[in-house]
């Protein structure tokens, strides 16, 4: 008798639970999510929740915009009934949303300086969507916000292996690759972007130049990357990138007293003799260690055009009238800016990367074959 009463009680409990789940499903269908979730908290606390309960509560969380909880409940439901394709399909739909929500939280935590919370949400997103290109790209952005650029580049590398990345995201990946010295990766990214859109042609050329610089000798490589270029540094870069200047016909045998005895004296004296570098008339000083000003850099590039251009060669349209334009730094800057050799705006002192790009661009304008660069 006692066993029958216990069995009957169990049957009644199951009936009551089934009725509660049915009521819960009705609340979800009526979009009464708040009330449904209150019921879910009680029902999910019982051992061994049923499949209908997991689905109903998962859908309640989904409709209230709570993708974390919704995905986890649907994933449990799909695992319990692997042959029901609809459950796995709904779980897959929610997974991407849950990963994006985790990334939203990770970005917010990163900006607030909460590194542990940011990293926890980032790990959650990557675990949920490990092969998703959009998720990997956003993970890279979060890593950048956390200052973990090497990790960010690794995420970008994975994302690029999958389809679906927009041009802006790929450009950010290329920029980061250049910043971290991953020049081959940057060349691959920007070359593909340039094939799709000509506006990326300049960035592709910059990436290829950076790749070449990485294979230069140590001295020239350091000069090309220095933040504040000196006048002697400009001479060394010109000597290296434009072998023609070594054999070019000189104007006069001008001697600068502060150049003699230097290791780079050949390059500096050649720049002086070709008129690329001015010498103080009375002191006979070239000031090789002084910073290269933007105006002097523009004059240098415009004058170098005259040195490298074959006799009788037509003037490129952007360099029409350049012999006279090089007389003043202002005119030289305007001409250099028109040709894309050097921006007229910017700081007063030119850096190695900017001047190196100017030399590389000058060779392209003149249609010269690259030298040893």
Is pLDDT at 257 greater than 60 in this prediction?
Answer: yes
Of the residues 181, 213, 245, the one at which a domain ends: 213
- What tokens does 154 get? 């690794």
Whether residue 187 is found in the same domain as residue 316: no
Same-domain status, 311 and 337: yes
In this predicted model, what pLDDT tens digit does every residue of 112-140 receive, in sequence order?
989 999 999 999 888 888 888 988 999 99
CA 4: distance to chain centroid?
A: 71
Structural element, H or E, at residue 252? none
Q: Is residue 269 part of a domain?
A: yes
Structure confidence at residue 33 as a pLDDT band (50, 70, 90): low
The predicted structure's pLDDT at residue 22 = 67
Taking Cα atoms as reference points, which of 157, 155, 158 lies closest to residue 146? Answer: 155
Grade residue 5 by pLDDT with cuts at 50, 70 and 90. Answer: very low
pLDDT of residue 12: 52
Residues 232 and 193 in one domain: no
**For residue 20, is pLDDT > 80?**
no
Please state the φ and ψ torsions of residue 216, each to the nearest 5 degrees. Answer: -80, 165
Q: Give yes or no: residues 198 and 247 share one domain.
A: no
Asked whether residue 306 is domain-assigned, the answer is yes
Interhelix angle for 352-366 vs 231-241, to 10°? 40
Assess if residue 80 is contained within a domain.
no
pLDDT at 287: 92
By mean pLDDT, which of 37-51, 141-155, 179-193, 288-302 is the weakest?
A: 37-51
Which tokens is 146 given? 């956390």
Q: What is the Cα–Cα distance from 6 to 43, expressed in whole angstroms?
A: 21
Q: Does residue 256 belong to any structural domain of this protein?
A: yes
Exposure of 321 in the CB half-sphere (CA atoms within 13 A): 7
Q: Is 293 helix (H, G, I), strand (E, B) or coil?
A: strand
User: What φ, ψ does residue 293 adopt, rounded to 5°?
Assistant: -75, 160
Residue that wins the pLDDT comparison between 67 and 191: 191
**Domain for residue 39, yes or no?**
no
Q: Which domain holds residue 321?
A: 218-366
Where is the domain boundary, 193, 213, 233? 213
The tokens describing 135, both together, are: 């998720």
Tokens of 222: 């350091």
Does residue 309 share a domain with residue 327?
A: yes
Domain boundary among 213, 246, 272: 213
The b/e string for 86-114 (b: 16+ C-beta within 10 A; e otherwise) is: ebbebbeebbbbbbbbbbebbbebbeeee
**Same domain, yes or no, for 352 and 257?**
yes
3-class DSSP state of 29: helix
245 found inside a domain? yes
Residues 183 and 309 in one domain: no
Give the distance, in angstroms, between the CA of residue 238 and the centroid of all CA atoms in the same chain.
30
């Amino acid at each position: 008798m006692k066993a029958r009463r216990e069995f009957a009680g169990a049957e009644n409990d199951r009936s009551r639970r089934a009725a509660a789940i049915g009521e819960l499903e009705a609340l979800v269908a009526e979009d009464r999510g708040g009330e449904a979730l209150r019921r879910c908290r009680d029902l999910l606390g019982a051992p061994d929740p049923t499949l209908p309960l997991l689905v109903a509560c998962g859908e309640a969380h989904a409709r209230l915009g709570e993708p974390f909880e919704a995905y986890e409940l649907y994933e449990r439901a799909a695992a319990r009934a692997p042959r029901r394709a609809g459950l796995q399909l709904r779980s897959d739909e929610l997974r991407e949303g849950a990963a994006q929500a985790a990334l939203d939280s990770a970005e917010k935590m990163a900006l607030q300086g909460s590194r542990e919370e940011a990293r926890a949400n980032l790990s959650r997103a990557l675990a949920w969507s490990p092969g998703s290109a959009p998720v990997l790209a956003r993970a890279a952005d979060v890593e950048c916000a956390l200052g973990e650029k090497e990790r960010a580049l690794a995420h970008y590398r994975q994302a690029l292996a999958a389809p679906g990345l927009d041009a802006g995201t790929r450009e950010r990946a290329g920029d980061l690759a250049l910043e971290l010295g991953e020049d081959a990766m940057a060349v691959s990214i920007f070359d593909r972007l340039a094939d799709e859109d000509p506006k990326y042609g300049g960035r592709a050329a910059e990436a290829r130049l950076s790749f070449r610089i990485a294979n230069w000798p140590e001295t020239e490589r350091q000069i090309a990357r220095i933040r504040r270029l000196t006048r002697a540094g400009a001479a060394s870069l010109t000597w290296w990138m434009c072998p023609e200047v070594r054999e070019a016909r000189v104007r006069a045998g001008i001697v600068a007293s502060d150049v003699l005895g230097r290791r780079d004296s050949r390059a500096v004296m050649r720049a002086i003799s070709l008129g690329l570098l001015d010498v103080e008339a009375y002191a006979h000083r070239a000031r090789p260690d002084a910073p290269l000003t933007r105006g002097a850099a523009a004059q240098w590039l415009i004058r170098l055009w005259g040195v490298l251009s074959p006799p009788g060669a037509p003037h490129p349209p952007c360099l029409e009238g350049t012999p006279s334009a090089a007389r003043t730094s202002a005119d030289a800057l305007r001409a250099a800016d028109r040709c894309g050799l050097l921006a007229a705006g910017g700081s007063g002192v030119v850096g190695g990367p900017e001047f190196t790009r100017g030399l590389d661009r000058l060779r392209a304008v003149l249609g010269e074959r690259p030298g040893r660069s």
